[in-house]
Amino acid sequence: MSPEIATEPDIAIGPDAAINPETGMRLQVLGASGSASGPHEPASCYLVTTPESTLVLDLGPGAFGALWAAVDPRRITAFLISHLHADHCLDLLAADVAAKYSTTAPWPRIPVYAPAHAAERLARAEDPDPGPPADPEWAFDFHPWRETVRLGDCLVRTAPTAHPTQTFAIRIEHAGRSLVYTADTGESAEVTELARGADLLLAEASFPDHPGLPTGLHLSGRQAGRMAAEAGVGRLVVTHVPPWGDVDAAVLEARAEFDGPVTAAAQERVHHLGQIV
């Protein structure tokens, strides 16, 4: 295989990227830094839009500002939180403050789909007392994940991942198109099956490709590529590389296992699933 990193002909950058308003699904990367926010990019956050839905996949540190720059938060259909490690959810606290106290407050009560007890666990980050937290007064409505949920014009399906805390991979389907977000995971038959036949796989690649990697934690670029190949996806977008990692190396590792297009997630990069205007 060529060592060059593949590019996708249907990627557009910036706010002028558009989709067919009747058929398209759009994935915009708002933050792709793994494990922590980086010097130039927020932690995990991805905006998925369709003609009737605005879905936010994770909301890690630094991501709420990028989200507000991309869309009026009052239009959000739902927040979809894969798990409760801080790099994937902590900016829900910032969003909650804005929903209550900004000049546009009060906001509609946006649903948050997350692992069980998310509201209580996140509230501990703001509780000034060391004891059990008081009942949190969120501006949002929290719901534990179900295997399948209908949100606007999208069908959302989930599967558990291989990660130390309860974590869900997320599949979003709209008008015959689909994308799958692995969230944090090691190699997983359940996540591979969830990704089966997806148009786009947004896969974490936290680890460099070294022998003896721990299981049940994260993927390497090579393992992400192998998952994409086994699932028969259309294209692979590598994400969640830590600030101290090598994004280009992760993409090249993935290309060694997957023959389709492979790119790296980067802030403001837009991926279209459906007809481009």
* pLDDT band at residue 7 under the 50/70/90 scheme: very low
pLDDT at 134: 64
Range of the domain at 216: 11-273
48 lies in some domain = yes
What average pLDDT does the segment 167-176 reach? 97
3 lies in some domain = no
HSE value, Cβ hemisphere, 13 Å, CA-based, for 9 = 4
Tell whether the torsion through CA atoms of 161, 147, 84 and 174 is positive or negative: positive
Tell whether the torsion through CA atoms of 145, 95, 241 and 165 is positive or negative: negative
What average pLDDT does the segment 210-233 reach? 96
What average pLDDT does the segment 7-20 reach? 40
* pLDDT band at residue 133 under the 50/70/90 scheme: low
> Looking at the 3D structure of the chain, how many domains does it have?
1
73 lies in some domain = yes
pLDDT at 35: 96
Q: Residue 128 contacts by C-beta under 8 Å, 6 or more apart in sequence? A: none
- Chain mean pLDDT for the chain: 90
pLDDT higher than 80, residue 21: no
2 lies in some domain = no
Which domain CATH number covers 16?
Answer: 3.60.15.10
Name beta bridge partners: 12.
270
- Identify which has the larger pLDDT, 37 or 276: 37
80 lies in some domain = yes
194 lies in some domain = yes
197 lies in some domain = yes
5 lies in some domain = no
The edge-to-edge listing of strands for the beta sheet with 177-181 is: 148-151, 154-160, 168-174, 177-181, 200-204, 235-239, 262-264
